[in-house]
Structure 1
Amino acid sequence: MLEIRLAVEQTVPDTLALPVGKGARTGESGPGGELLPTAYAADRAVREEALAFISDVEHTGGAGVVHTLARPLASPRRVLLTGVGAGDEAGWRAAGAAIARSARQQPSVTVGLPAAVDPAAVRGLAEGLWLAAYRFRVATEPPDKAPKLASVTIVVDETGRYEPALAVARAVAEATMLARDLTNTPSDRKSPAWLAERIREAAASHPGLSVVVREPEQLTAEGFNAILAVGNGSVRPPRLVELSWQPPQARTHVVLVGKGITFDTGGICIKPRDGMRLMRKDMGGAAAVAAATIAAAALNLPVRVTALAPLAENMASGTAYRPGDVVRHYGGMTTEVLNTDAEGRLVLADAMAYAARHLDADLLVDLATLTGAQSVALGKRTAALYSDSDPLAEALAEAATAAGERVWRMPMPDDYRDALDSDVADLVNSTQVGAGSVMAAMYLREFAGTLRDRWAHLDMSAPAWADSPDRELVKGATGWGVRTLVRWLDRVAGEAPSGVPVEAAAS
């Protein structure tokens, strides 16, 4: 992991990054960037060259825009003039990502921050640096192609003010990278048992976390029949992971449920080849909820969190479940299986029914790479948000915006509900309505029980994977949802179970 440290000392680096904001200067092509004064006291020659260069290249100061000033016979040898936009946390996050990419072949870089800048700038900058520097490879990378960037020094006017923000950024980045690692891992090694053990190992380094892994015998005894049905076609049987963080000062209990299909062939309703190519990502929801819970423990957030990760491999075989089968879920509800490729909602339903009946939760949120319809409606970077609770939906949307992960709230029309009815069971798992993401959310709502008005569903199928680098995202798994959940859990920690801020509830 990239080393990032805070410092006040003034050494001359080989590579220096200086921030450029959107200033009032106007040229022929529009508003220009403004070189911001920083705690790093660059000498007069550097600043004069930088100012002239900014004007020559018409630097806009836009967040994440980098122009490199080469100084081969001087020190620093290169200056990365990096746009921070309006200077908010998002702008600094984009700047951090841009610096990580621009300096990837340099062993180290020094970044100057404006004096008395808000600590959120350090959090954004560090998250951007860490997340954009992330790498996942199974093969050994040739030395001449491997990135060399190993350390970043952030120069501030005082370190004490910014150390908490850097610690938070580190915990969130580590959790996001854990989710990325789990999701990127090829499915030939990522069985349900393997994934359960990796979650157990990651949790072991954080005191206060407990893990229970239900194996097939326990799933059978307790009635988690949908998880068993989905996993029945594979020689690698399913698991249910229950990861718990229970700080004594917690006022609220949040249950997070994440879809954990370690590979999805579609089952008997088999997918075409191209539809299976990236199905190692189909456990991205499980990775996100587990990693966010670990981050809550790392940050000692005073909120109780239980993460449920139903893990199964959906394979086509002589023992696979079939279209037309009726599955009895945990708690007794039944589903007629019309499409074995709509398996994610089946395993989520078992876990949600368990949470609603036995975990005494105040809030229930599920994350899932659930439907292709989500990307049709909202594209690659925006997850679909469903909830009957306006306060919960608004809080999650605000957390997503702050984290740099977009969501858009979607409807659940009452007149669509009848399409979920079955002639032989309580529900069907697939309909002809056409609104695939909407109908999946409405199906899941049936299993929220008494938490129905305190439940939210995030369909994050497309945002879980990036086809190319994009700011703090790298190609591959994004770890989507970890940052949103940690921001939201931090907010929940300061609220009463009703969602009212603690101060107001006390009065």
Structure 2
Amino acid sequence: MTIKIQNKKLNLNKPTNIVLFANSNLDIEGLNKSTIHQLANSIKTSIKLNKNKIKDFFSFDVSSKEKVTIVKIKKEHISSNDNEKLGAKFLNFIQSNSLYENVFIDKNIKFNNQINKNFFNEFLSGLLIKSYTFDKYKTKKITNIFNINIHGNFKLDILQKNNKLKSLVDGVNFTKDLVSEPGNILHPDEYVKRIKKLKSFGLKVSILDKNKLKQLGMNALLGVGQGSIRGSYLAIIEWKGSSKQQQPLAFVGKGVCFDTGGISLKPAKFMEDMTYDMAGSAVVVGLMKTLALRKAKVNAVGVVGLVENMPDGNAQRPGDIVKSFSGKTIEILNTDAEGRLVLADALTYTEKKYKPKFIIDLATLTGAIIVSLGSEYAGLFSNDDKLSAELFKSGEKVGEKVWRMPLNDNYDKLIDSKKADMQNINYVGGAGSTTAAQFLQRFILNKTPWAHLDIAGMAFSKYGGALNSGGATGYGVRLLNQLIEDNYE
């Protein structure tokens, strides 16, 4: 569905769907003085007759041309996430009832004081996020257009350039676009081209290609991509919105554009979903775009490792030993435990190069986290209680939840190797997500506050959720944006 928001007066001579917001008592203040005052009695009568039927939304005809839809705003609709969810539910309502008409808000109709002053902007934000579709490759596209015509005293910040909500919607949708692309289109070479385009938003973009990575000794990352005809890269995106002296906040993402498992080949069933294995990197890229669009007053750096994991005559073998950028050696027992190898070099490089205030990495890293948490929470692993608490609070606030999982030195014995400093998988069994995080922690060399988010259960959904309709969810952009806004600006 295409959403168009514009300022336009209501024309009662044309068929129109008038959408009115009522408080929890179903009162619409200012209705008798509004532009639609001649319909006030009919509206009040319909509300009175159907009061027990009205939950969140209710639609009825008041004339041969005018349909009215009531949006009930409850007292608990005070947080931004509540308001966004209401906007998303409203979109579901108009779609299921085929109400593809104009939303009209009259300047004399006021909100009750119980409502968050940003309610309407947040409501529209949720509606816009929920309306996302990826139909780029369909020859017959859905052409439903939903016009939101605003005539009134609402300050529609979401329409303004650099507005926080609009910037966030753009960043989330960009992440969804990247995750939704098939592997034959968004391979590492194409991904780099799209990241370079972010320069137009004021971001500094640097690309380390295969030759540069080899010179730096990033053999853990390079080993994953050596079976592919595509390049392997480390893409670095910088935003400077504060003083040059301020330590940057660092975000690192796993960008395995397609993951066959390599020589340790995955089963064919559902392998097509492995186009989503770059979702961690897409969150980082979408977040950096959001920060640039809204001119965030913070310094931040996003670092993403971009590879393709393919089975080829030159592919990495089980049993290979590689030397990482950190100098530590890794025995490759399973080539399908590749994301941690990409992140290992990216984490050490980010810490050494930028000396950040903290590092947060995101990856669709393990199936084990889905066994643990399903698709309700991302797994949070961290060496820092303060950062963990901030992430948890921000996640609750925007509805992108995290749950802290354990790290402990006792798990190290499960990834210690007899031939190298460590092995890339725990073959003893159990604690798959924790041992993966324990592996990553070894590449944080200078005790920088660090958090790892395993988003394997959150990056995409076959069934949809409160703010997405299935497919790529964009999970993580809103979470990290809220973290920054609440704690670091």
Q: What is the TM-score when the length of structure 1 is the normalising length?
A: 0.86
CA contact (8 A) 2:3 2:145 kept: no
Letter paired with 1:302: K
1:243/1:421 Cα in 2 relative to 1: closer, same or farther (>3 Å)? Answer: same
Correspondence 1:24-103 to 2 at 5 A: 34-37=25-28, 41=34, 43=37, 44-52=40-48, 54-57=50-53, 59-60=54-55, 65-71=56-62, 73-75=64-66, 77-82=67-72, 86-88=76-78, 89-103=80-94
Aligned to 1:435: 431
Deviations 1:253-283 (A, max 9, x none): 1110011000001111111112412111111
Hey, what's the Cα distance between the residues in 1 that align with 2:7 and 2:450? 40
Aligned-pair CA distance for 1:166: 9.3
1:425/1:155 Cα in 2 relative to 1: closer, same or farther (>3 Å)? Answer: farther
Aligned-pair CA distance for 1:398: 1.5
Q: Is 334-343 or 108-117 further displaced after alignment?
A: 108-117
Aligned-pair CA distance for 1:73: 1.4
Hey, what's the Cα distance between the residues in 1 that align with 2:354 and 2:468? 35
Hey, what's the Cα distance between the residues in 1 that align with 2:461 and 2:30? 35
1:218/1:382 Cα in 2 relative to 1: closer, same or farther (>3 Å)? Answer: same
The counterpart of 2:17, out of the listed 11, 15, 21, is: 15
1:93/1:406 Cα in 2 relative to 1: closer, same or farther (>3 Å)? Answer: same
CA contact (8 A) 1:356 1:451 kept: no
Q: What is the TM-score when the length of structure 2 is the normalising length?
A: 0.89
Letter paired with 1:91: D
CA contact (8 A) 1:103 1:109 kept: no
1:303/1:475 Cα in 2 relative to 1: closer, same or farther (>3 Å)? Answer: same
Aligned to 2:476: 481
In structure 1, stretches of 5+ residues that fail to align are 24-33, 495-507
Letter paired with 2:16: D
In structure 2, stretches of 5+ residues that fail to align are none
SS of structure 2 residue aligned to 1:278: helix
Correspondence 1:70-149 to 2 at 5 A: 70-71=61-62, 73-75=64-66, 77-82=67-72, 86-88=76-78, 89-104=80-95, 105=98, 106-110=100-104, 114=111, 117-140=115-138, 142=140, 145-149=142-146
Note the aligned Cα RMSD (angstroms).
2.6
Aligned-pair CA distance for 1:493: 2.8
Q: Percent identity?
A: 29
Correspondence 1:55-454 to 2 at 5 A: 55-57=51-53, 59-60=54-55, 65-71=56-62, 73-75=64-66, 77-82=67-72, 86-88=76-78, 89-104=80-95, 105=98, 106-110=100-104, 114=111, 117-140=115-138, 142=140, 145-149=142-146, 151-153=147-149, 157-159=153-155, 167-201=163-197, 203-207=198-202, 209-249=203-243, 251-431=246-426, 432-452=428-448, 454=449
SS of structure 2 residue aligned to 1:331: coil
Aligned-pair CA distance for 1:124: 2.4
Q: Is 168-177 or 119-128 further displaced after alignment?
A: 119-128
Aligned-pair CA distance for 1:38: 5.5
Hey, what's the Cα distance between the residues in 2 that align with 1:328 and 1:162? 49
Hey, what's the Cα distance between the residues in 2 that align with 1:359 and 1:205? 23
SS of structure 1 residue aligned to 2:145: coil
1:160/1:97 Cα in 2 relative to 1: closer, same or farther (>3 Å)? Answer: closer
Aligned-pair CA distance for 1:115: 5.3
Deviations 1:274-296 (A, max 9, x none): 24121111111101111101111
Query: How many residues align structurally?
Result: 471
Aligned-pair CA distance for 1:10: 6.6
Aligned-pair CA distance for 1:5: 4.7
SS of structure 2 residue aligned to 1:245: strand
CA contact (8 A) 1:196 1:213 kept: yes
Aligned-pair CA distance for 1:462: 1.4
Q: Is 162-171 or 173-182 further displaced after alignment?
A: 162-171
Q: Is 108-117 or 315-324 further displaced after alignment?
A: 108-117
- 1:461 corresponds to 2:456: yes
SS of structure 1 residue aligned to 2:269: helix
